[in-house]
Structure 1
Amino acid sequence: MAESAIAALGTAQAALDELDRRCCDIGRSPRLDALAAKLSEIRLTVLDPGGVDPGPVSALLRETGAMVRALRIECCAPNRLPLYATLLDQLNEVQRDLVPTQ
Structure 2
Amino acid sequence: MDELMRGRVYGADHDDPHPGPRPGHVYRELVAGPLDGLLLDVTGWSEHQLGEPVELPTEIGAYGAGGRAQYAPRPGDPRRWDWRGDTPDGPA
TM-score (norm 1): 0.26
Q: Relative contact order, CA 8 A, sep 6+: which one is greater?
A: 1
More strand as a share of residues: 2
TM-score (norm 2): 0.28
More helix as a share of residues: 1
